[in-house]
Amino acid sequence: MADVEKVDFNYADADKHEFEMAELYSYTEEPDFATNQVCFEEAAKAHGFEKWTSLSRTQQMSFVVSIQDDLEVTEKERRIKAIQALLYLAQGVYGECRSREHMYEVSRECVLLYLELGLYTSLVQLLAMEVENSATALMALRKPAVSITDSKELR
């Protein structure tokens, strides 16, 4: 076997969490943060509470399972609102947190809760469904190059 030239590569290419998150989100998605929060607050009100951080773990689980059920309804707007409420939680419930560290902690707890409840699989299935959605496909045919910023559903 021939000698393979070694490539000088730094596998520890990671920055602080806040900088990595800033790189993940583009400026076009900034208004979505407020929309996500509103969707969460509407769902919370419908479930009889105001603050996520005041709920017990059991109450949090019950709420997430209820929202997870909304991911399977046929009404697209209801599914989108459920996704946005879940995204607000995964982003750390920034409207309730007293510091960035607290927000990161809440975000981590929510993501772990999602994994525990099997929500990851539901979200992947929903994403696949939206990608295959005929309306999304028709929109893609009209544009020469479609990016994720063109579709709220795909984001």
Q: Show me where the domains of the chain are located.
A: 32-150
First to last CA, the chain: 45
CA distance 6 to 8: 6
The string of pLDDT tens digits covering residues 45-88 is 999 999 999 999 999 999 999 999 998 898 989 999 999 999 99
- Both tokens assigned to 64: 């997430």
Claim: this prediction has a pTM higher than 0.85: no
- Both tokens assigned to 7: 């490539």
CA distance 42 to 49: 10
